[in-house]
Structure 1
Amino acid sequence: MTDAIIDGLRNDTPGCAQRSHFNHAGASLPPRRVTEAIVGHLMLESTRGPMEAAALVADEFAILRTNAAKFIGADEGEVAFGGSGSALWGSVFAALPQLRSGERILIGRQEWGGNVASMQRAASHAGASIETIPCAEDGSVDPNALSAMIDDKVRMISLTWLPANGGLINDAEAIGRVANAARIPYFVDAGQALGQLPIDVSRIGCDVLKAAGRKYVRGPRGTALVYVRSNFLEKLDPSFVDVSSGPLVNGKVELRKDARLFETSEAPISLLLGLGEALALASELGVEAIQARIARLATRLRDGLKRIPAVEVRDLGEKQSGLVSFTVEGISASVVRRRLAEKSISIGANGVPYTPFDMTARGLQEIARASVSYFNTAGEVDGLIHAVEHIAKDAIQ
């Protein structure tokens, strides 16, 4: 990515003129083409009617499904869209055979809190258990430790690939090899990976993968996708269907035979068209090139923060992502976020509920999280480092 390309991307992102955005792991700044796709379709709905407008863009919607599937190495029939990655994940999880007493779910220590909550409720009702997989020395989920935990009571393995509370990249493929060898359902939360890392579901070996559109792929909030492996669908019994996913035919419910089993007949067409533009842009740029630039900027940020007294970088793992977590001695992460916002710099601040097992294991109550994207600049990174240094100096004084 040349300077000219980055300049063009920033000129096409109105938010870049107003602030330095380092909250891409929460929600990124959408490019103009995404916003125009959304507004354009809303205007079409206002003049033609929402149902009629949807019919007019049916071909574009079909292209979105094709491109989304290609983006993650899946077949078209293995991808469904929704408004929330967590809701899609929860719908597929709820469609699994009911847990029984004594059965086990194995999860990574950094599992997303929303996923944990759904699993915990189901396990507590059934008398089943949720167990965390031990970590390797670098803090990542240990595939060898997972192998040693496998027995005939394990009913599911769940992994958050890139945790929300820092830069760790878990080895999703290695975990997948263990799960596949044992023929245990394998769910992957790729919320922070979509648009940041190349994704090939066949290499990962997952049965289910979910991600939101608002993060690194730069789509609109309220969009998400889920992948469900085609030959895994037959093992699922959804708790909810409608006229699209399970229509009545001659008095009998006929369930869809593809991942759209987890879609509803009602959909935010304008938002999903915006997601289509975001996926198209990421494909044009190349996810490998995106990953490489994010890695360079994140390394620059980590190195700069490590040189500041009273600041501790909290990232784990030998392989790290664009999520940079840190704490400032004596100042809460929420206050750090607020102080930076006053300087027109946006970051995130995460508490225990987001990654409850990992935060508890490491004795962390809250972390500041600055997440870089490919259209950030080295100058913005240096500005963030300088601003954090000033906040840390106030803490020392």
Structure 2
Amino acid sequence: MDIEKIRTDTPGCAKVAHFNNAGAALPPRPVIEAVSAHFALESTIGGYEAAEQNAAALQHFYDAVARLIGARADEIAYVENATRAWDMAFYSIPFAEGDRILTTTSEYSSNAIAYQQVAAAKGAKVDVVPDQADGTLSLEALEAELVKGDVRLVALNHIPTHNGLVNPAAEVGKLCREHGVLYLLDACQSVGQLAIDVSEIGCDMLSATGRKYLRGPRGTGFLYVRRGIVRTLVPPFIDLQAATWKAPDGFDLRDDAQRFETWERYAAGQIGLGVAADYAADLGMTDIETRVTGFATKLREELSARRGVTVLDKGARPSGLVTFTVDGHDPAAIKDAARERAVNINVTYPLSHGYDPHVLPTAVRASVHYYNTEEELDRLLSALPRK
């Protein structure tokens, strides 16, 4: 991996040491140029006309994302963000009274709110599967819950937003297939930093964002829906992109994943997200994963050696998210002080992970990417207070 070329491709690297990639990564120049060029075209010939002229680039998005995650182009939908992609999948499932939803202790609170809303409206039940000792989802406990029956959905976050672990997504997929249960994977933090193959994972649906590790534009995301189940799911809202009007009182839903789209969209963002997917795939997701996880491991080691610093990450398999506290120092103040030194980090809050029985403190989160360097790591460490 040519890091010097990658950093030259990334204008932000000249201005900041960016360790907030779990929030929004720095986009590479090809993505910036693709988005800017389409928006400029819209400004000179009109939005509809620009979409017609760049129809091939808009269509290429589906091929690019499919290539990245080992899917088919007709299994991909363009959605405005990961939350809406996840919502479109979750709310399309025809839950009934008595159905069970299995999730994790590390679930993101935004998703947990959706579970509770559906449980109240449909009479479904939400059960939280306990963890193993290392903090990852217990596969034995999950299988025991599946054996009990009435499970309609297993919903898993691949990488939680707050503790650095990677959940065993493929092993969960195997259990879901054995028990004939739908499987929704929230890959918001994993697409772009881990090698993802939906056929190996065995998920039925996967949601992801453009702005994080994929290095795409903000306001973009995508949804994968396995071809074999698309027709069993009815999106919570539809329009003329998702369906064809049959006058005077009928409609036909599309038979591919684009039934989860809306007609109006951020066209420049869709093109840019396709470019971002190509950029990652061309670099090689296995190489990206190796560099990201290795760099994060080094950061954890450096932090753990410091007096007064507590690294909070869990799990046997590390991710690029590193969370920690510094005794006697407010995480928000640490973030602000680092930003004054052109080092970007973020803060994670307990309210973001509502099912976790171990209430974690507000913490600093530093999320590394492949374009970060040893020199930037030193800058980050020097920007932190010492006990």
For residues 34-73 of structure 1, the aligned pairs below 5 Å read 34-73=31-70
Q: Which residue identity lines up with residue 61 of structure 1 in the other structure? A: L
Q: Percent identity of the aligned residues? A: 39
- Corresponding residue of 2:149: 152
- Corresponding residue of 2:284: 286
Give the CA deviation at 1:304.
0.4
- Corresponding residue of 1:171: 168
Counterparts in 2 of 1:172 and 1:7: CA distance versus 1, 3 Å = same
- Corresponding residue of 1:379: 375
Contact 2:152–2:181 (CA under 8 A) maintained in structure 1: yes
Gaps of 5+ in 2: none
Count how many residue pairs are aligned between Structure 1 and Structure 2: 385
Give the CA deviation at 1:108.
1.4
For residues 161-310 of structure 1, the aligned pairs below 5 Å read 161-251=158-248, 252-310=250-308
Give the CA deviation at 1:148.
0.7
- Corresponding residue of 2:354: 356
Give the CA deviation at 1:129.
2.1
Q: Which residue identity lines up with residue 289 of structure 2 in the other structure? A: Q
Contact 2:68–2:278 (CA under 8 A) maintained in structure 1: no
Q: Which residue identity lines up with residue 262 of structure 2 in the other structure? A: T
Gaps of 5+ in 1: none
Give the CA deviation at 1:37.
0.8
Give the CA deviation at 1:77.
0.8
SS in 1 for 2:119: helix
So what's the TM-score if we normalise by structure 1? Answer: 0.94
So what's the TM-score if we normalise by structure 2? Answer: 0.97
Distance 2:371 2:199 in 1: 29
Give the CA deviation at 1:127.
3.3
Contact 1:79–1:259 (CA under 8 A) maintained in structure 2: yes
Give the CA deviation at 1:293.
0.9
Distance 2:311 2:323 in 1: 6
The C-alpha deviation readout for 1:161-206, integer Å capped at 9, x for no partner, is: 0111021011101111111111111100001111111111111111
2:113 aligned with 1:117: yes
Instruction: Give the root-mean-square deviation of aligned CA atoms.
Output: 1.2
Contact 2:104–2:156 (CA under 8 A) maintained in structure 1: yes
Among candidates 313, 334, 346, match of residue 344 of structure 2: 346
Q: Bigger shift: 299-308 or 145-154?
A: 145-154
Counterparts in 2 of 1:99 and 1:328: CA distance versus 1, 3 Å = farther
Contact 1:12–1:31 (CA under 8 A) maintained in structure 2: yes
Distance 1:253 1:353 in 2: 41
Q: Which residue identity lines up with residue 257 of structure 2 in the other structure? A: A
- Corresponding residue of 2:88: 91
Among candidates 10, 21, 25, match of residue 18 of structure 2: 21
Distance 1:329 1:161 in 2: 30
The C-alpha deviation readout for 1:289-347, integer Å capped at 9, x for no partner, is: 11111122111100000011111000001101110011112222212211211211111
Distance 1:209 1:353 in 2: 24
For residues 322-333 of structure 1, the aligned pairs below 5 Å read 322-333=320-331
- Corresponding residue of 2:136: 140
- Corresponding residue of 2:386: 392
Distance 1:127 1:254 in 2: 29
